[in-house]
Amino acid sequence: MRATVAGRERAGGVELPYWPGHFVRQQRPVNPGALERTPLPYRSSMTTPDVARSDGPCVTIRCRDNPAIGVEFSDRFGFDQDSVHYAVELQAPGLTARVDEVVAWIWDSDLYAFLEELAADYRGWHGERTWHNNDRDLTVSAVFRSGGHVGLTWTARPWPEAQAGWSASVTTWSEAGEQMASLAADIRRFLTGGPR
């Protein structure tokens, strides 16, 4: 299926504009059960540093409990040495939400440092831990579940100060320890532009 909305064409769904540069795409699969049977490529660490649609570096995080749920970091660029800009796309059956310009400033507490702390606490913690970027358009909340699993709730909320804004969240589950350490390393390489 190909659809055009507000001048943006995408295969497999419709992109609905919410603000210049920010789109939410609603996908309607012909056979909803096909999502459960479709094999998705991912490493055992549940992250996949690979090439995004823009042919640049990206990291895809898949939920270990349901691989149809994921988060993709892509389209990294920078105007200067003080920041890096990137896109975050949340994916779940029937939902694709994308924020095209999340900004990480050098004075921010980095996402990869938050993930590294979670990996170091592989024995678990009580309650919820939260990280957000300076603009608060990306928030990550972490909880520890018995059996050594970490639930990361990724929330995209462009223009959080706007009254008529939107937000979307997905939760991915990973194993504590090595999978979290691998995820942190993949995000560090993506944000810093380091070697693979």
How many CB atoms neighbour CB 146 within 10 A? Answer: 6
- For the chain, which residues make up each domain, given as ranges? 2-192
What span, in angstroms and rounded, lies between the C-alpha atoms of 118 and 191? 18
In the predicted model, is pLDDT for residue 163 greater than 80? no
Would the pTM count as exceeding 0.75? no
Name which residue leads in pLDDT, 26 or 160.
160
Terminal CA-to-CA distance of the chain, rounded, Å?
A: 35
- Answer with the residue of higher pLDDT: 31 or 85: 85
Pick the CATH number of 2-192 from 2.60.40, 2.30.31, 2.30.30, 1.10.3470: 2.30.31
C-alpha dihedral sign at 44, 45, 49, 53? positive
The mean pLDDT of the chain is 76
* Per-residue exposure over 62-87, b if at least 16 CB sit within 10 Å of its own CB, e if not: bbbebbebbbbbbbbeeeeeeebebb
Which DSSP letter does residue 120 get? H
What mean pLDDT comes out for the span 94-103? Answer: 93
Confidence of residue 55 (pLDDT cuts 50, 70, 90): low
Residue 47 has pLDDT above 70, yes or no: no
The predicted-structure confidence for 2-41, as pLDDT tens digits, reads as follows 232 333 333 333 334 333 333 334 333 333 443 333 333 3
